[in-house]
Every structure is written in structure tokens, then in C-alpha cells.
Amino acid sequence: MTKNNVSRVVVVTGASSGIGKEIAKFFASQGDKVYGLARSSFEEENVKSISCDVTIKESVRLAIKEVITKENHIDILINNAGCGVSGSVENTELDDIKNMFNVNFFGAVNITQEVLPFMRENGGGKIFNTSSVASVIPIPFQSFYSATKSSLDIYAKALRLEVKPFKIEVCNVLVGDTKSNFTSSRKKARGDEGSVYEETVRRSVEKMEKDEKNGKDPVSVAKTMFKLSLKRKLPPTKTVGGMYKLIVFLNKILPQKFMLFVVSKLYS
């Protein structure tokens, strides 16, 4: 998409596969200049690949420096890089928990901190965070993943208030079950094998994986973000998909005890 005959510059993290890949491809197909950041370089038509580990500040600094050197500005940042670990709270290893927070939360913080000065100098910009319905409705045996997304949501809402004077908009996009390689790449806590949680974890994860494999096409997320990107003002939160909008709405009006009971029945 162009504005005043000038293409927007878009940076997407986690752009080598899954939802991030579809976001990068769709924005590029609409005429935006898209830079896709991922740990390993990749090839995608009309998307410029930059190797970047979002958990390493120097890697982030060099990646953003490369974009600014070529384009002199960044209009849109999409924090999409993420990873998951399934398993019980009791048996999930601390290193796996820390790694997930480093990617899902601190990775977004690292990129955002690096991009904000350039957006401010350019007179504004838009920041999107790929979040999850699990940020508002916690999923058993995905406790720490839910926690990373919940942390991201609160952080982004506070950030929105801080950067409003500089015409920088921030929006969390809540995604439900979506077909992507995220399902196969999700790590499983080894400590649950042979534990009191083993059978419940197995059933819960099987249900979760089935729902994801039969979930929405990731292109739907890309289209939602693109439509939002054309708006002058962004909502603080946007949920993708009618069913998930209903779930999030019901979670606001129904007793938490009842909602947790329903979730427990779905994943037990």
C-alpha cells in the first residue's frame, strides 16, 4: 500500500514461517516495503530478509540499523516472533520458561525500544503485537505461554499511553487456534513423563493440537492486521475471528469461576 505515492516501510519479526510469513507476504503484496526479521535468513518474494535474534540487543540494533540505512524510516512494526512450551507448571523447566519469556515478551520489548526513536523522529507510526486469546483466557498446561502473552498485552497498553503524544499507535491482535508450524515446533515439558500429570497433559495437548490443525488460515491474521494498518487510529485490542470475539466478550461478562470451569472441561 502506498500513501502519497510513497511505500510504507514495514518490519515483521518471526517472518520466516507461520503467521509471520503470511503477514510479511500479504503486506508486501499490497505494495509495502517489507523487512522480515528471523534468526535464519530466508527467501520470500518481495520480502527483504534480515537475520536477527530478537533476544539479543546487539542483533536487534544491527537489524534496525540496516533498515534505517536503506529506508531512513519505519512506519509499521509487527512484533510476531514467538515460541511455545506445553506442560504442567510443576514440571516445566525454568530454562524453558525463561527462553519463552525472552522471545515472546522481551524480544518484543527489544525491537520496540530500538524502533521507537525513529518513529518519533518520523512523526508517528504503528506497532502491532501478535498476541493470543490465551492472554485473557488461560489455557491449562500452556500456563507460561499464556503468561507471556498476558504480559505482552498489559505492557503494550501502557506503552500506548506513553507514546500517544508522538502519534504512535499500539495494538494487540489476539489470535485463536491457527494452522501453522507453531503446533509442531512447540516444545513439551519432559518432566511430565511418568508424573501425576502425564495423562491429563496428553489429553489436553492432543485437544489443543487438533484445534490448531483445524484452525483458521494464518492469512486471516495478516488481512486483519493490514486492514487495521490503514486506519488512522488503532484499537488497543483486536481479536481475530467471530468465534474468538464471542469468547473474549463472554469472558468479560460471565463469572471467572464459570469460564475457568468451561476451560477445564475443554482441556481435561
What integer pLDDT is reported at residue 192 of this predicted model?
A: 79
| DSSP state, residue 192 | G
Using CB atoms within 10 A of its CB, is residue 77 exposed (0-12), middle (13-18) or buried (19+)?
A: buried
Residues contacting residue 193 through CB under 8 Å, at least 6 positions apart = none
Using one digit for the tens of pLDDT, what is the confidence trace for 91-120? Answer: 999 999 999 999 999 999 999 999 999 999
C-alpha cell at 221: 491474521
Q: Annotated active-site positions, please?
A: 16, 131, 145, 149
Of 148-152, 199-203, 224-228, 232-236, the range with the lowest mean pLDDT is 199-203
What is the model's pTM? 0.90
| Residue 197: domain span | 2-266
User: What CATH number should be reported for the domain holding residue 114?
Assistant: 3.40.50.720
What integer pLDDT is reported at residue 76 of this predicted model?
A: 98
The three-class DSSP label of residue 188 is strand
Structural domain count of the chain: 1
Nearest partner of 15 among 47, 57, 60, judged by Cα: 47
Instruction: Provide the residue type at 231 as one letter.
Output: K
**Segments in 72-142 forming alpha helices (H):** 94-101, 107-121
Q: How does the average pLDDT of the chain come out, rounded?
A: 90
As beta bridge partners, residue 165 has none
What integer pLDDT is reported at residue 238 of this predicted model?
A: 94
What integer pLDDT is reported at residue 176 of this predicted model?
A: 81
Using one digit for the tens of pLDDT, what is the confidence trace for 116-133? Answer: 999 999 999 999 999 998
